[in-house]
A and B are shown apart, each in its own frame.
Chain A
């Protein structure tokens, strides 16, 4: 994109504003260096940079700028994400340390800055590369440990999540988002109907990550270093987080390993229980796996809608539109019992 003068101008302006934002908080002698952008995420633009002090020290930081600002957004506002990061970081859940929140004076839109955590997030590398063999052997166990600790947090500390639609009724929240795109997907309707008919008994609300899965975890050769992407956090049934973690789409072609295509449910359950997690209701987890497929299909509808409407034109988002039927296929095969 070097030849696009508009993009270059926008990037130069953003970098200048980021420098100003840093200097407002760390002093006029602070500078930034080694800027790099990560892939466009579902709701955020991620910019990595070094915060350089006058003594020659450098601290690698990450700017997360909100990119999805449309009605029916399934994502928490950045200020809520930041509050949540502060809460869970304080409790000791492995997350990037929150550094500062953007404000109006920064001119960078809504977002925040956290410390960079080094490691790998790409599922296929985590699943196959030799250097992660030790991390793989502990993956499901660590997922169980982290989720048990997260679910043990007193949800009153995150009471600002009470009004998130997913905290009230997750199926209704998905249905409302799906309806907002005004597209007909009979398989999604069938999935929503099945969820409606087979809904499990409601459980006490806990703090949920909402997007805890292979792909949102930073892993190094020692194991999980950080849990990313808290924009879908809400209050609800802990089985939801477990079901989402095990949803077939996050097994990345390794279906016999339900925990992110890497680990087993038995490994996960042992760690979840031994760290204080409640009894796992596997029937409810299955319902949440079906819910996960419906939700993932609707999120792909959202990305395709953003591309088609021109609000978020992007090649991968266009590809999401043609990925919907693949998720629907997994959904149908799961409903028929052909897939677990």
Chain B
């Protein structure tokens, strides 16, 4: 870890600004690529800042729900297999809330502007669904 400036967050922000500025001078495919590249850096900056904490929270949540341990990817795979097998058909609301938490966490990193106000904090939906 270097102490030199700019810090990694600032480096990413600087390149994002550059891509945003250059996109305005481009058109067609080049402009679209530049905007996509800026978007990806935007995601990377948020993930560097919040990703580890989100992953840890999700791992704890999944371990509690599935009552087993493993890596985040393994447990997400097991959750998916169980949903497909119908294991949670009678616990639809619980599994729905769990998956909604996972999805809103990802959207918080990728496109927080797309979240409805009730999902921009820590609160999770409680509406009954079936």
Contacts and interface: CB of A to CB of B under 8 A. Distances in A.
B83 A336 contact: no
Residue with the greatest number of chain B CB neighbours at <10 A, chosen from A186, A315, A338? A186
A208 B126 CA distance: 38
B92 to A, nearest CB: 9
Interface in A8-50: 37-40
Interface string A326-340: 101100110111100
Contacts of B83: 186, 189-190, 193
Given A184-B73, A337-B129, A338-B127, A192 B32 contact: no
A276 interface: no
A332 B127 contact: no
Interface of B: 28-29, 32-33, 36-37, 39-40, 43, 73, 76-77, 79-81, 83-84, 86, 89, 95-96, 98-100, 102-104, 106-107, 110-111, 114-116, 125, 127, 129
A328 B77 CA distance: 16
B107 A326 contact: yes
7 contacts: A38-B29, A184-B80, A193-B86, A316-B32, A323-B110, A326-B114, A329-B103
Contacts of A187: 99, 102-103
B86 to A, nearest CB: 7
A38 B129 CA distance: 43
A70 interface: no
Query: What class of interface size applies to chain A in its complex with B?
Result: 20 to 34
Given A184-B79, A332-B96, A337-B127, 20 more contacts: A38-B29, A186-B99, A186-B102, A190-B95, A190-B99, A192-B84, A193-B84, A315-B33, A322-B40, A322-B110, A323-B110, A325-B106, A326-B107, A326-B114, A328-B106, A329-B107, A332-B103, A335-B96, A336-B96, A338-B125
A158 interface: no
A70 B106 CA distance: 28
Interface of A: 37-40, 184-190, 192-193, 197, 315-316, 318-319, 322-323, 325-326, 328-329, 332-333, 335-338
B40 A319 contact: yes
A190 B32 CA distance: 32
A39 B28 CA distance: 7
